[in-house]
Amino acid sequence: MTASVSHMPTPRPRLDAPARDPAFFKRVFWLGLALVMLWPLGVATEFRLWVLWEPENRQVTAQFLSTFWPLIYSAEFMDMVVRETWRTVAMATAGVTLALVLAIPLSLMATRVLSLSALSGRMDRWPAVLRWLVRATLIVLRSIPELIWALVFVRVVGLGPTAGVLAIALTYGGMLGKVYAEILESGESHATQTLMRNGSGRLQAFVYALLPSHAAELASYTVYRWECAIRSSVVLGFVGAGGLGQQLDNSMKMFNGGEVATMLLVFITLVALADRVSAWLRKALA
């Protein structure tokens, strides 16, 4: 009679957790290397955060902040703030609109996917030169900050929102054109090339094949840039481009902390509202 042998499960070897992170020394090495590389940058920029806690600097900071109270909210002052806030939003919106007029055609000329000569593989010489010139133009436009453009236009057209609108239009035109071209080239291009190989024009291929697949991403980035333009329009006011920023600069020069604090709160509210509108539009377009 054969004795039955019970089949017990074979015990697995116990895998104890390591007492130390296996990548600990590697992480410490890369962190130390990053700090070593950042140290010369801190020296070059004279970055000394600890000076904020020196007694005399703390006293100056406290005196400056104490002027922010009480807030100024008289009817005449608030009427001016509302008017300049609306002018700031109008400046940003008009600037982005002009930037779109500039960016859309430049981005289409800079997009390789829409080149008829590139369908065979290598782009012809003159279309390649034109594409290079367009991309160089976009680099120049976005390389010059809107603050510099505003200083130039203030001397050309005088003080006021016109200088801010033109400054935003040029800088943001370069930004939008560059990003639009990269978005259009990053996706699937088979449908676009098929249309052009079958006799379609570049604009038709863009409208019926390339744009539908990238519309949400393009619109989302445009709305984001509009939100950034609102913040930029306030900064441009400090060089005479009008809007809420110019009034803020005037109040700071007059050491009127109550007016400054009120306008800062209004500006924070404006940016928060722009952020919510931007998020809602991006969600709706997605």
Q: Is the pLDDT of residue 9 over 90?
A: no
Q: Is the pLDDT of residue 99 over 90?
A: yes
Where do runs of H (alpha helix) occur along the chain? 24-44, 55-66, 75-110, 125-143, 146-157, 161-186, 190-197, 202-205, 211-236, 244-253, 257-285
Neighbours of 178 (CB within 10 A): 19
Q: Which of 277, 271, 270 is nearest to 82 (CA)?
A: 270
Q: Is 130 helix (H, G, I), strand (E, B) or coil?
A: helix
Rounded Cα gap, residues 282 and 155, in angstroms: 37
225-282 per-position pLDDT tens digit: 888 888 888 888 888 777 888 888 888 888 788 888 888 888 888 888 877 887 787 7
Residue 63 carries which side chain, given as an amino acid letter? Q
76 φψ region: left (φ > 0), alpha (ψ -120 to 50), beta (else): alpha
Rounded Cα gap, residues 242 and 164, in angstroms: 7
149-194 per-position pLDDT tens digit: 888 888 888 888 888 899 999 999 999 999 998 888 887 766 777 7
Q: Is the pLDDT of residue 54 over 60?
A: yes
Rounded Cα gap, residues 21 and 235, in angstroms: 47
